[in-house]
Amino acid sequence: MRTAANWIVVAVAAIVFGGLRLMRTIRRRKADNIRVSIDDVLYYGFVGLELGLLITFRWQAFHSPLVFLVGLVFVGIVVTGGRPLKSSQRSPRQGL
């Protein structure tokens, strides 16, 4: 948490992990003719940020003041990704 280099690593990890997961989701949903919503973009952005924080700062992420940021990002993940798809949006791969 001391240098800008650490925060650059967090940003790169967030872009790489979140971006790759989002691209995978976009490809799958495009094949099933389901539109990608802003919730998906936010969800994978939060997931990437969480992974970037935990990879970069390791156990320091659970000490003050980073623990507040990690907690807020986790709440963002739960809020944006916690809702199931509507039955009309479910892909055939998920079943009924």
Q: Give pLDDT tens digits for 56-80.
A: 888 777 778 888 888 888 888 888 7
Q: How confident is the model at residue 90 (pLDDT cuts 50, 70, 90)?
A: low
Model confidence at 84: pLDDT above 60 = no
Cα(63)–Cα(70) distance, integer angstroms: 10
Higher pLDDT, 39 or 13: 13
Where along the chain do its domains lie?
Answer: 4-83
CB 80 within 8 A of CB 39: yes
Higher pLDDT, 20 or 94: 20
